[in-house]
Each structure stands twice: as structure tokens, then as C-alpha cells.
């Protein structure tokens, strides 16, 4: 049974990678958690089971992050389940790589729909659903600061996300709601490692940051925990580059 006196958080993309780590970390911080997933239900239910096993409270909810009606339903389900919403963390995203040529236009459209339109939809629903004093955290990427070939669509989507963060923070003036982005560098998730050779990872990407190691999802989740907690209450309209010096 959920403790309705606890704060509640919605974590999109919560079934794997950074989203999974964020959902688990916020549950440890005594949040009731909605674990959003897009396609496969089993990984999301496993996250819920893991959270419940250590005494936390979580529910898995499916939604298409690119569809306005689905995102609205996701928020409605969150509020109906836990009676309140105190934090929204948008981790959902995709990372197809391709050069800026006509053949990659379908991938460009897909990454913009998920990463940028999806972020806009989540933010727009959070505006009316969040309690005053709430927190919004979305994900950018430190790749925005590096002009790597084949990252064009991904970088474009995340640069747009950073712009939305600053605007929404000002639009929410007076409500005590903070809006921030976390921008990881290379993190050892399935999303980031897909399609890359061990040579690319070990000889190129890892060595670009002074710390010379891949980030861990749990470390990024700690940054999110700070931003949604009391200590992060004065951080607003910022992009936190949690990247080991990558950017």
C-alpha cells in the first residue's frame, strides 16, 4: 500500500538505464514513484518489484511519450494513484546516430518527436499537475557541447530541451517550482553503448573526459536526487553537466 503522506514522483523512461536508477533512488528517498515505460512491460514491473522489495512504493504505467493524449493520461493516472505530484523527472529518450544527409531524415523526425516533443509534452502537463514548490528535471546531454559527427539529430533535440528549461522556469515564476536539466556525458547504459565498438568506447569516448571513465546511472540519479530534494531548492533554470569534465 502506498503511503499517501509521502511525496510522489513521475519518472518517464523508468524501466531501464538512467531512468531505472532514478526511480530506485527516489524510492529510497521516500517518494512514491510512477515508473513510466513505452513498450516492454516486464522491465518496468521488475523495477517496481525491486522498489517494493526494499519497502518502497511504485506503480508501472505505459504511455507513448510522443502522444499528447497518452501523456495526459499518464499524469492523470499518477495523480489518481498517489493523490499528489511533487516531482517530474523526464528520462525518456532515444539516440539514433546518423549523418546530416537526406537518408537520415526519418531518424531525425523520430528523435525530435521523442526527445524534444516528448519533453515539451511532459513539461506542459507538469505545469498544471505539480504542486507549488515542486520539481521538474529533464535530460539534456553534454554532447550538446561537442560537435561529434553523426550526433546531429540527437544534439539538436537536446539543445532544444535546454532552451525549454530556461523558458519554463520563468513561466512558472511565483510558484516555487524549479526547472532544471541534467546533462550526462558518456554513461554505461544500453542506450549509449548500442552500436558502438569496444574500441570506440575505450579509446575515444572514455578518454575525452578528465576522469577517463564511463559514468554510472546511479551517479546521475544522485544528481537528480539533489535537484528534487531540499538542498536543490535554489537551483533553477540550470543545466547541470554531470559528465566528469567531458564538456
Instruction: Assign residue 223 the CATH number of its domain.
Output: 3.40.50.720
d(CA 30, CA 27): 5
Active-site residue set: 154
Total number of domains constituting the chain: 1
Q: What backbone torsions phi and psi does residue 155 show, to the nearest 5 degrees? A: -65, -40
In a structure prediction context, what are the per-residue pLDDT tens digits for the chain, which is 247 residues long?
Answer: 677 789 999 999 999 999 999 999 999 999 999 999 999 999 999 999 999 999 999 999 999 999 999 999 999 999 999 999 999 999 999 999 999 999 999 999 999 999 999 999 999 999 999 999 999 999 999 999 988 899 999 999 999 999 999 999 999 999 999 999 999 988 878 777 777 677 666 666 777 778 888 889 999 999 999 999 999 999 999 999 999 898 7
Is 44 a domain residue? yes
Q: Radius of gyration of the chain from Cα atoms?
A: 17
Is 184 a domain residue? yes
Q: Give the per-residue pLDDT at 202.
A: 64
Is 1 a domain residue? no
d(CA 223, CA 215): 12
Strand blocks (E) in 102-238? 135-139, 178-182
Is 56 a domain residue? yes
Is 2 a domain residue? no
Is 245 a domain residue? no
Is 206 a domain residue? yes
Is 246 a domain residue? no
Q: Which range marks the domain in which residue 226 is found?
A: 8-240
d(CA 9, CA 31): 6
- pTM, full prediction: 0.94
Amino acid at each position: 500500500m502506498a503511503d499517501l503522506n509521502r511525496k510522489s514522483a513521475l519518472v518517464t523512461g523508468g524501466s531501464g538505464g538512467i531512468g531505472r536508477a532514478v526511480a530506485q533512488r527516489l524510492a529510497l528517498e521516500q517518494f512514491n514513484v510512477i515508473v513510466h515505460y513505452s513498450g516492454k512491460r516486464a522491465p518496468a514491473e521488475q523495477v517496481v518489484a525491486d522498489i517494493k522489495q526494499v519497502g518502497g512504493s511504485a506503480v508501472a504505467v505505459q504511455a507513448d511519450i510522443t502522444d499528447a493524449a497518452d501523456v495526459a493520461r499518464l499524469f492523470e493516472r499518477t495523480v489518481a494513484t498517489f493523490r499528489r505530484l511533487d516531482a517530474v523527472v523526464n528520462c525518456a529518450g532515444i539516440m539514433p546516430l546518423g549523418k546530416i544527409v537526406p537518408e537520415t531524415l526519418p531518424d531525425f523526425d523520430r528523435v525530435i518527436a521523442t526527445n524534444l516533443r516528448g519533453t515539451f509534452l511532459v513539461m506542459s502537463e507538469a505545469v498544471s499537475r505539480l504542486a507549488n514548490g515542486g520539481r521538474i528535471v529533464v535530460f539534456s546531454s553534454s554532447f550538446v557541447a561537442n560537435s561529434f559527427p553523426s550526433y546531429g539529430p540527437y544534439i539538436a533535440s537536446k539543445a532544444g530541451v535546454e532552451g525549454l528549461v530556461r523558458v519554463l522556469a520563468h513561466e512558472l515564476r511565483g510558484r516555487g517550482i524549479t526547472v532544471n536539466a541534467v546533462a550526462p556525458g558518456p554513461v554505461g547504459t544500453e542506450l549509449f553503448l548500442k552500436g558502438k565498438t569496444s574500441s570506440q568506447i575505450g579509446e575515444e569516448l572514455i578518454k575525452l573526459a578528465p576522469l577517463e571513465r564511463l559514468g554510472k546511472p546511479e551517479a546521475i540519479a544522485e544528481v537528480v536526487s539533489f535537484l528534487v530534494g531540499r538542498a536543490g531548492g535554489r537551483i533553477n533554470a540550470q543545466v547541470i553537466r554531470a559528465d566528469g569534465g567531458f564538456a
